[in-house]
Amino acid sequence: MQSCKQSQNQSVLEHGISVRDYLFDILNHLERVTPLKYSWKIPEWAYKYREFILSKIYDKRTLELYTIYHDCGKPYCKTVDDCGKAHFPNHAEVSYQIFNSIFPDNKDASELIRHDMDIHLLKADQLKEFASSPYAVTLLMTGLAEIHSNASMFGGIDSTSFKIKWKQIDKRGKQIMEMLNK
């Protein structure tokens, strides 16, 4: 993981650690109303459903394993196209299999890894099924943390690329929270 590049300036392992740090930053902020360590654009639904989110999020050990190792399969499925760009086909499933072989006793972290991309690819007609998963809130909050963790790659939280990703997760997050809190 350390020798496989996630981006030009970050290894897969460093990316996992960064996502963990961002996730714990937002969760600590919501739980204890502490100042944030990183730059954030926090959606209204995160504050509105704060108590619900905190009651549904997984324990710290599971979150740590999940976030740090969520891309552990990338070194095993990496391909490079003709233009030199790296791709990681089916990396969530490969990461799930590798993680599960190393940590067979943490089913929740394994399943979170398997479904890590779901929040980023979620379509409107999949909302009900996604929201019914016990992993929905954790995947949503981790997705929010991940786009913030990755923001520097795209020019920061004021960049167009970040704004597009944020708008999507904000929209889906609001829909999911409303669905779960009817």
Q: What is the pLDDT of residues 122-166, one digit of tens each?
A: 999 999 999 999 999 999 999 999 999 999 888 889 999 999 999
Answer yes or no: is pLDDT of 112 > 80: yes
Q: What is the mean predicted confidence (pLDDT) over 87-101? A: 94
Instruction: State CA 96 to chain mean position distance.
Output: 14
Within-domain flag for 110: no
Task: Note down the domain range covering 138.
Answer: 5-69+116-180
The answer to whether residues 11 and 5 touch, using CB atoms and an 8 Å cutoff, is: yes
Q: Where are the alpha helices (DSSP H) in 49-125?
A: 50-56, 60-69, 74-77, 91-102, 107-114, 118-121
Which amino acid appears at position 140 of this protein?
A: L
User: 131 in a domain, yes or no?
Assistant: yes
In the chain, how many domains are there? 1
Mean pLDDT of the chain: 94
- Tell me whether residue 139 is in a domain: yes
Residue 22 lies in a domain: yes
Give the confidence band of 172 by pLDDT, cuts at 50, 70, 90.
very high
Q: Quick check: helix, strand or coil at residue 49?
A: coil
Task: Provide the residue type at 27 as one letter.
Answer: L
d(CA 158, CA 156): 5
What's the confidence (pLDDT) of residue 33? Answer: 85
